[in-house]
Amino acid sequence: MPLCIIIGHEPMASYNSKRTHFLYFPAVLLTVWCLLPPVAGGAPSIPARASASVERFRASMRRILSRSEARLGDWGILVVDEGTGQTLYELNASHYFTPASNAKLFTATLALAELGPDYRWRTTLETTGHIDPAGTLDGNLVLVGRGDPNLSNRIFPYGDKVQVDGPPEKVIADLADQLVARGVKRITGGVVADDSYFTYERYPPGWNIDDLTADYGAPVSAIVIDDNDLEIDVAPGARAGDPATIAAVPWAAFYHFVNHVTTVRRGLDAQLTLSREPDSFDITVTGQVPVGSPPQQSWIAIEQPARYTASLLKHLLVERGVTVDGGTWAEHLLPNQTPPPPQEREVLAEHQSPTLAEALRYLLKVSQNLHAECLLRTVAHERTGVGSLENGLAVEREFLARLGIADDVMFFDGSGLSRYDLVTPRALVTLLRYDARQSWAQVLRDSLPVAGIDGTLENRMSHTLAAGHVFAKTGSLVHDNSLSGYATTLGGRRIVFSILVNNTPPHAKFDPYIDQIVEAMVEDLGASARREPERRPHRQERHGPYAERH
């Protein structure tokens, strides 16, 4: 029997999400720094021809995980052969861990399986009124959102960096232009934003209050304008001591800014803080900007996306010479409320989204939380007629039951921002092996960040032999890190893996240890000997490196 080092941990709090929430694990967590031999009826035995490379990988794992800092975290790891399912290494593979953004793999798989890669969303301008020959629309103008996460100026198909064209309100402006092209000059009613395609549940359970003003914690709605984030530009005054100027992009006359930003002398650093109380329309900006500096850009989540969009649409129509007699408001479907019978409304303008395959590539490359939540609720609406979080999770659980892993996961959202989410490494590997056998397998694989190349892995493993050989989803919360996906070893072996580490100390960075494990996987498994990595030039993106959104 091989020597095993077992380290016991007392039950401890798992402190996480963006910053705070506590989950208590009732059992003692055991960290085992070795690969136990397969038991009868378990994973297949390792073929003789592969034993040398697997032993080399075992040695690398012992070396990496026995380091004093690495031992401070709680690890869950499973590495298997993609084709045969043979277990090559496992550590706590059936234990529950907080997955962070690895939860998006489940949402993406569900969407591809239920909707198909060619699925598209529709956004329309509609009315129950009529347009007279003089161009007067007698009634309300209704913008109907159906969960399109990309009502923005983003260019598709998504390449190896984020590219934009035009202002962030580009799609809404195009809908306004279509309306004007129909000859509308006046609206006797108001401008309404209808987001009842999803139920009015802006924040899933387990999201922290300090997430809710940040761009990664933007509220869920069936209407998503530029990721439901508002860009705020703060420019210095002419002289030190002058107040700074504040502008919102796009401007919708929706928020009121409380300006406490002072212009300071050249050479000092810009320091800005944005704050907004829940359900407040006041955004307070404090800090300083130096004389002569360019505008400082910050982003804050739009708390009432539908109401904001109604204001924005009215503003764009007025800019185009359309008179709007009424006000603006939103129409919601509350949780447990029965959807009203569909109204007979005339469609006046329409926008079709990129395909799900294109949207998924952006979502997974940059780890976009709100987009994942939209996918989960879109599946719920398509399957049940009500786009609620509860229905989405129920459909997902039915799907995972067919894969035999329903008891290995516990989800409260679609993005992984919830601190209540739990998953086992075994469930992630089972999911990824299922994905690899589907007709859309390449769609998912192409949507994952590539080590050393793009997405949230652009600046990781960039000068190693793993660069370009690893397609995987990152995950990051305070004190939790994860990486799960596919790898091709130097010997050509295709690997599926999941690496989750929880309860990491605040002073430590665990991504480097995860990367070392993946590098060892690529170099050791199926290779006759280690080779020197090719030197790859560091890639600079126009919009800077990708950052995990939570």
Q: At what angle do helices 170-181 and 305-319 cross, to 10 degrees?
A: 50
What does the mean pLDDT of the chain come to? 88
Domain identity same for 228 and 110: no
Asked whether residue 87 carries a pLDDT value surpassing 90, the answer given is yes
State the DSSP H helix or E strand holding residue 389, giving kind and residue range, or none if neither: helix 389-403
Domain identity same for 224 and 247: yes
Phi/psi at 149 (5° precision): -80, -5
495 inside domain: yes
Domain identity same for 248 and 348: yes
State the DSSP H helix or E strand holding residue 126, giving kind and residue range, or none if neither: strand 122-127
CATH of the domain at 110: 3.40.710.10
Q: How many CB atoms lie within 10 A of CB 287?
A: 18
The whole-number pLDDT of residue 278 equals 86
- pLDDT per position as a tens digit, 375-394: 999 999 999 999 999 999 99
Domain identity same for 441 and 502: yes
Domain stops at, among 333, 356, 379: 356
Asked whether residue 74 carries a pLDDT value surpassing 60, the answer given is yes
Report DSSP letters for 128-171, one per residue.
SSEE-TTSEEES-EEEE----TTBSSB-SS--SS--B-S-TTHH
Q: How many CB atoms lie within 10 A of CB 68?
A: 6
Which residue do the tokens 């869950």 mark?
76
Asked whether residue 194 carries a pLDDT value surpassing 70, the answer given is yes
126 inside domain: yes
534 inside domain: no
Proportion of the chain above pLDDT 70, given as a percent: 87
Asked whether residue 543 carries a pLDDT value surpassing 50, the answer given is no
Contact indicator for 148, 378 with CB cutoff of 8 Å: no
- pLDDT per position as a tens digit, 274-307: 999 888 899 999 999 999 999 999 999 999 999 9
Q: How many domains does the chain divide into?
A: 2
Point out which residues pair with 494 in neighbouring strands: 488
Domain identity same for 337 and 472: no
SS3 373: helix
Least confident among 3-17, 158-172, 208-222: 3-17
SS3 readout for 517-549 = HHHHHHHHCCCCCCCCCCCCCCCCCCCCCCCCC
The whole-number pLDDT of residue 135 equals 97
Domain identity same for 153 and 201: yes
- Segment 183-188 shows an average pLDDT of 98
Instruction: Please list, in sequence order, all residues whose beta carbon lies within 8 angstroms of the beta carbon of residue 211, skipping any fewer than 6 positions away.
Output: 17, 18, 217, 417, 550
Amino acid at site 376: L
Question: Any idea how long the chain is?
Answer: 550
| CA within 13 Å, CB half, 147 | 28
User: Alpha-carbon distance 515 to 466, whole Å?
Assistant: 9
Phi/psi at 391 (5° precision): -70, -40
- Segment 234-250 shows an average pLDDT of 95
- Segment 414-429 shows an average pLDDT of 98
Domain identity same for 183 and 311: yes
Q: How many CB atoms lie within 10 A of CB 331?
A: 17
Asked whether residue 214 carries a pLDDT value surpassing 70, the answer given is yes
429 inside domain: yes
- Segment 62-83 shows an average pLDDT of 96
The whole-number pLDDT of residue 208 equals 92
Domain identity same for 92 and 212: no
Q: Which two tokens stand for residue 217?
A: 């914690």
62 inside domain: yes
Proportion of the chain above pLDDT 90, given as a percent: 80
Model confidence at 210, pLDDT cuts 50, 70, 90, reads confident
Torsion of CA 259, 260, 264, 269, to 10 degrees: -100
- H helices of 156-286, in order, are 170-181
**pTM (2 d.p.):** 0.86
Domain stops at, among 356, 380, 398: 356
Domain identity same for 198 and 273: yes
77 inside domain: yes
298 inside domain: yes
What's the order of all strands across the beta sheet hosting 494-502?
87-91, 74-81, 494-502, 480-488, 470-477
Least confident among 16-30, 401-415, 446-460: 16-30
Amino acid at site 523: E
- pLDDT per position as a tens digit, 424-458: 999 999 999 999 999 999 999 999 999 999 999 99
Domain identity same for 344 and 375: no
Domain identity same for 145 and 90: no
Contact indicator for 139, 127 with CB cutoff of 8 Å: yes
Least confident among 15-29, 107-121, 290-304, 449-463: 15-29
- pLDDT per position as a tens digit, 260-274: 999 999 999 999 999
First vs last C-alpha separation in the chain: 42
User: Alpha-carbon distance 485 to 473, whole Å?
Assistant: 6
235 inside domain: yes
Domain identity same for 336 and 364: no
Asked whether residue 212 carries a pLDDT value surpassing 50, the answer given is yes
- Segment 304-333 shows an average pLDDT of 97
Contact indicator for 441, 463 with CB cutoff of 8 Å: no
CATH of the domain at 260: 3.50.80.20
Q: CA–CA distance from 451 to each of 100, 138, 358, 471, 484 (Å)?
A: 19, 56, 20, 7, 12
The whole-number pLDDT of residue 527 equals 56
Domain stops at, among 322, 356, 390: 356
Asked whether residue 320 carries a pLDDT value surpassing 70, the answer given is yes
- The range of the structural domain enclosing residue 491 comes to 6-115+357-524
Instruction: Please list, in sequence order, all residues whose beta carbon lies within 8 angstroms of the beta carbon of residue 50, skipping any fewer than 6 positions away.
Output: 525, 526
The whole-number pLDDT of residue 279 equals 85
Instruction: Please list, in sequence order, all residues whose beta carbon lies within 8 angstroms of the beta carbon of residue 246, skipping any fewer than 6 positions away.
Output: 232, 233, 234, 257, 259, 261, 285
